[in-house]
Amino acid sequence: MKTNSRYLADVLITAVAPAIWGSTYFVTTSFLPHGYPLTSAMLRALPAGLLLLLIVRKLPTGVWWGRAFILGALNFSFFWAMLFVSAYRLPGGVAATVGAVQPLIVIALSRLFLGKPIRFLAVIAGLIGMSGVALLVLTPNAALDPVGIAAGLAGAVSMAFGTVLTRHWQPPVSSLTFTSWQLTAGGILLVPVAFLLEPALPAPTPANMLGIAYLGLIGAAFTYLLWFRGLSRIEPSAAASLGFLSPVVATLLGWLALGQSLSPAQIAGFAMVLASVWLSQRTMMPVRPTRPAASREPASHPA
């Protein structure tokens, strides 16, 4: 039985990944050329995956070829494509709020694929988190685009399936090797899509190269290594709730780096998101086995 302190350590390590993902929007808009979302996603995944493959020097075998590409599509190719469509067609706040439904989807899929019980408090935590994200990022004049909303929901479902199936299949290799397989597969799947749907990328500037290096090495290789490690150690629904930290970090970066102000509603959203994450982790905390009560019968004495 895992101790609470070890479980908490695994949660904190896993939480680093979505916290870093919160910087993706800032880095993308500040360092990468505009109008190349699929190419940027491919450059984020494929070089990082190939680099990790060079390190581990181990390819999939048997059914893991297919599973690597399925998970690569769910966690990277399709997810990132839908994420970009949603971001382009919806205001950032609406896109983030739609994506925040993912922990609730993970709870349902965990019941379906892993046989995990649906905990009432976990559902409440997910609803609190969604409400907190809405307060954090939504603006009064936010527009609703049906295609953008559908893309956002499709991306949330894709990542939710990827999260649960990653735990369900439990690969017979290290987290580093598993990360390299998925990143490489996801990047390969993005190559023809980016080539067909987007113009050629212009000659990169030093700022572009710095942004791509950050998103590939830190925002993909490092963070997904932590993420997949976490999925092998903590419940998928507990891991998914950590995704609420991404809009928190994104908002904080906007406040610190871009001089954006924080309203009272956003501060309340911060508090709700943190409360949601705490409640979700508290719900999934391993229960210590109770010790049998000491016998109350008087000890016998020799005559």
Which range of residues forms the domain containing residue 81? 1-285
> Quick check: is 300 in a domain?
no
> Long-range contacts of range 254-257, CB-CB < 8 Å, 24 or more positions apart?
254/26, 257/26
> Quick check: is 294 in a domain?
no
pLDDT of 160 above 90? yes
> Quick check: is 215 in a domain?
yes
pLDDT of 150 above 60? yes
pLDDT of 288 above 90? no
Are 243 and 18 a contacting pair, CB within 8 Å?
A: yes
Q: Identify the CA nearest to 244 among candidates 92, 133, 107.
A: 133
pLDDT band at 291 (very low <50, low <70, confident <90, very high): low
- Chain centre to alpha carbon of residue 119: 21
> Quick check: is 70 in a domain?
yes
Q: Identify the CA nearest to 191 among candidates 5, 44, 68, 9.
A: 44
Q: Would you call 192 exposed, middle or buried from its count of C-beta atoms within 10 A (0-12, 13-18, 19+)?
A: exposed
pLDDT above 70 as % of the chain: 90
> Quick check: is 298 in a domain?
no
Span 51-68, pLDDT tens digits: 999 999 999 999 999 999
Span 187-217, pLDDT tens digits: 999 999 999 999 998 999 999 999 999 999 9
DSSP codes joined into one string, 61-112: -TTHHHHHHHHHIIIIIHHHHHHHHHHHHS-HHHHHHHHTTHHHHHHHHIII
> Quick check: is 292 in a domain?
no
> Quick check: is 42 in a domain?
yes
Number of domains in the chain: 1
Are 37 and 84 a contacting pair, CB within 8 Å?
A: yes
Average pLDDT, the chain: 86
Identify the pLDDT of residue 2.
60
What span, in angstroms and rounded, lies between the C-alpha atoms of 271 and 276?
A: 9
> Quick check: is 301 in a domain?
no
Are 40 and 215 a contacting pair, CB within 8 Å?
A: yes
What span, in angstroms and rounded, lies between the C-alpha atoms of 295 and 249?
A: 53
Q: Higher pLDDT residue, 285 or 294?
A: 285
Span 168-186, pLDDT tens digits: 998 899 999 999 999 999 9
Helix (H, G, I), strand (E, B) or coil at 202: coil
Farthest-apart Cα atoms in the chain, separation: 98
pLDDT band at 295 (very low <50, low <70, confident <90, very high): very low
Task: Count CA atoms within 13 Å of residue 145 on its CB side.
Answer: 15
